[in-house]
Structure 1
Amino acid sequence: MSEQEKELKVLRDQIDSIDKQIHSLLNNRARCAQQVADVKEKYQGNQDAVFYRPEREAQVLRRVMTRNEGPLADKEVARLFREVMSVCLALEKPMYIAFLGPEGTFTQQAASKHFGHSAHCIPFNSSDEVFREVESGGAHYGVVPIENSTEGMVHHTLDLFKRFNLKICGEVELLIHHHLLRAEAEDLAGITRIYSPQQTLAQCRSWLDSHFPSVERIPVSSNAEAARLALEQGSSAAAIASDLAADLYQLNIVAKNIDDQSDNSTRFLIIGDQEVGESGQDKTSVLISVRDKAGALYKLLEHFQRHKISLTRIETRPGQQDATNSMFYIDFEGHSVAPKITRLLAELEAESTELKLLGSYPVAVL
């Protein structure tokens, strides 16, 4: 045995020993999770027990990142713990998550990022169906897009909060990377048409103008549908979609990261029917209707300034069945049970014709 092999053997034996310890600890953690489920069912009952606690999960992941000493990056370690928590939660109670489909979309990636790969993610054709499935109890939670860094708010999602009595239980931020995919061929030659949602085409416009100025661009309903069409139509067609879509439809990635902006991201909301406790770093979302008159928004914003509460998003929506009202969607820092947020909400309600608290929830960790 060479000196190199001797040194490697020592290190490999150490790795085998560490792996054995990790394996034992993972099983210990899983058994503890099962005991947590037993205690919850004992005191809350099988039907009423709440197994998924977004605030608790956010706290655990933040602690993981705070205590991490490397060489693994903070977020990589947190992703490992996310999967550990996901598989342990599945032992307590399998989670069913509705998401805006079809399979292979960025929304599916967001669902897996937030809940881990042990959750059962079910695609639906529209955000309306996702809301309906969660409200009826067919799914524990739903995942829907709310905001893109380049294209702005998804107004249809905002409007659904007027119709459904669901809460925002969390948020996910996903860095969006678009790739050019095609079947059979592995280069850019011979492409005569490119499929993609209109929003994605807009996000990749400069790259497309540079590489395919004369090729037909065909808008479709989703990135996954674009990938399906590229597979179906062969090497003359291409799609702009994600890594997940490439894997799902077995397409070649012939150009990576073709977005015009490298920091393009989309924010997704987790919707459910539960109140979420404080995690220590939270956000609150509300819908507020006020009489449509000069200075109405200014008066609302005065309350935030006086309490020194930072807004993270404000969006104007049409009043519901009343042209004399204006409606605002507002995100701001803090949890609704915190004293100054409680006072703020009371003042906003007195100032408005209607205030709907959409939820307080942990700020996205990953």
Structure 2
Amino acid sequence: MKVGILGPRGTYSEIAARNHFGEKVDISPYPLITDVSEAVEKREVQFGVVPVESLREGSIGETLDALAWKDVKVNAEIVLKITHHLLGTEETEFDEIKQVLSHPQAIAQCREFLRRNLPDAELISVTSTAKAAKQISKDGKHYLAAIGSRGLADLYNLKIIEENIQGGKEDETRFFSLAKKDNEPTGEDKTSIVFYTKEDRPGILSEILQEFAKRDINLTKIESRPSKEALGDYLFFIDFEGHRKEPSVRKALEKIKSKVATLKIIGSYPKIY
């Protein structure tokens, strides 16, 4: 089994993938979330594991865009507890740090620590926590630090300068497992959809949500995302309890389809929270 992840090696996506598929799974790192989804779309890998939202910082736009526009399905969700550490080379001293590298979500999750302790440090966004760790390990400059997992310290021969620097005691990130097909019903499932109304009129979103309410279908998440067609034009993403094959869910989706310009069932998958 080949699984694509947001790379390089050592990212939280790899940890999530190994937790879900097992330690012996064949991992293929990709530089961008979009690349992972395209690898699944082209069948270069059977599955792809990508982050979709964090407890403290919310949804990841690149993943939502991939779910909306790529020919992939969600077949599982994975929730991983996230613990961030400040990493550096053996020569790095805390009071000499001038630049901190990491994924934008990791930087955001640690903003309070950085604001209090490294207010003058330049915060540099890169495509993954692992890329940040790999870069400072390669550069070897004493004024560089990275934010990432304990595993990255081992993988790239770095030291942990400060532990648990995320806001609050712990954070969690939700990942999606992408595939060409979603999952069969288990009796405890969730479904994710995205739709585009196109017709901008009062009450259209309320009408759509009523199709769930009248069938006692519980919504677990709803959010909008720019369609990238025009300013003020949005896609709507909804997660709800139930499987697309259940009669009540199927009927709700049929009704919604008649009210919107486009509807994509992103996938049905086992509910884990």
CA contact (8 A) 1:168 1:270 kept: yes
CA–CA distance in 1 between the matches of 2:52 and 2:228?
A: 20
Report the alpha carbon displacement of residue 325 of structure 1 after superposing the two structures with TM.
Answer: 6.4
Report the alpha carbon displacement of residue 299 of structure 1 after superposing the two structures with TM.
Answer: 0.8
Question: Does structure 1 residue 99 correspond to structure 2 residue 1?
Answer: no
CA contact (8 A) 2:68 2:266 kept: no
Aligned twin of 2:216 = 308
CA contact (8 A) 2:196 2:261 kept: yes
CA contact (8 A) 2:81 2:171 kept: yes
Report the alpha carbon displacement of residue 319 of structure 1 after superposing the two structures with TM.
Answer: 4.0
Cα distance per residue 1:16-44 (max 9 Å; x no partner): xxxxxxxxxxxxxxxxxxxxxxxxxxxxx
Q: Quickly say closer, same or farther: Cα 1:316–1:271, change in 2 above 3 A.
A: same
Aligned twin of 2:67 = 161
Aligned twin of 2:190 = 283
CA–CA distance in 1 between the matches of 2:234 and 2:128?
A: 32
CA–CA distance in 2 between the matches of 1:207 and 1:275?
A: 40
CA contact (8 A) 1:193 1:216 kept: yes
CA–CA distance in 1 between the matches of 2:256 and 2:228?
A: 18
User: Counterpart amino acid of 2:260?
Assistant: S
Report the alpha carbon displacement of residue 200 of structure 1 after superposing the two structures with TM.
Answer: 2.0
| Higher strand residue share | 2
Q: Which has the higher contact order (CA 8 A, sep 6+)?
A: 2
Report the alpha carbon displacement of residue 364 of structure 1 after superposing the two structures with TM.
Answer: 3.1
CA–CA distance in 2 between the matches of 1:302 and 1:161?
A: 24
CA–CA distance in 2 between the matches of 1:246 and 1:146?
A: 24
Question: Does structure 1 residue 259 correspond to structure 2 residue 166?
Answer: yes
Alignment of 1:266-277 (within 5 A): 266-277=173-184
TM-score by length of 2: 0.91
Q: Quickly say closer, same or farther: Cα 1:286–1:178, change in 2 above 3 A.
A: same
TM-score by length of 1: 0.69
CA–CA distance in 1 between the matches of 2:38 and 2:217?
A: 33
Cα distance per residue 1:280-306 (max 9 Å; x no partner): 211001111212211111111111111
User: What's the secondary structure of 2:19's corresponding residue?
Assistant: helix
CA contact (8 A) 2:88 2:145 kept: yes
Q: Quickly say closer, same or farther: Cα 1:307–1:100, change in 2 above 3 A.
A: same
CA–CA distance in 2 between the matches of 1:205 and 1:325?
A: 31
Cα distance per residue 1:305-344 (max 9 Å; x no partner): 1111111111113347578964211110011111211111
Cα distance per residue 1:333-361 (max 9 Å; x no partner): 01111121111111111222221111100
CA–CA distance in 1 between the matches of 2:26 and 2:204?
A: 44
Q: Quickly say closer, same or farther: Cα 1:326–1:184, change in 2 above 3 A.
A: closer
Cα distance per residue 1:195-246 (max 9 Å; x no partner): 2233322221221222222333333332112212322224332211111211
Aligned twin of 1:131 = 37
Deviates more, 1:330-339 or 1:208-217: 208-217
Aligned twin of 2:134 = 228
Report the alpha carbon displacement of residue 185 of structure 1 after superposing the two structures with TM.
Answer: 4.7
Question: Does structure 1 residue 205 correspond to structure 2 residue 205?
Answer: no
Question: Does structure 1 residue 329 correspond to structure 2 residue 237?
Answer: yes
Alignment of 1:132-211 (within 5 A): 132-185=38-91, 188-211=94-117
User: Counterpart amino acid of 2:163?
Assistant: K
User: Counterpart amino acid of 2:212?
Assistant: F
CA contact (8 A) 1:196 1:226 kept: yes
CA contact (8 A) 2:76 2:269 kept: yes
Please, which runs of 5 or more residues in structure 2 have no aligned partner? none
User: Counterpart amino acid of 1:256?
Assistant: E
CA contact (8 A) 1:227 1:240 kept: yes
CA–CA distance in 1 between the matches of 2:154 and 2:162?
A: 15
User: What's the secondary structure of 1:137's corresponding residue?
Assistant: coil
Q: Quickly say closer, same or farther: Cα 1:191–1:121, change in 2 above 3 A.
A: same
Question: Does structure 1 residue 293 correspond to structure 2 residue 201?
Answer: yes
Q: Quickly say closer, same or farther: Cα 1:325–1:201, change in 2 above 3 A.
A: closer
| Higher helix residue share | 1
User: Counterpart amino acid of 2:75?
Assistant: C
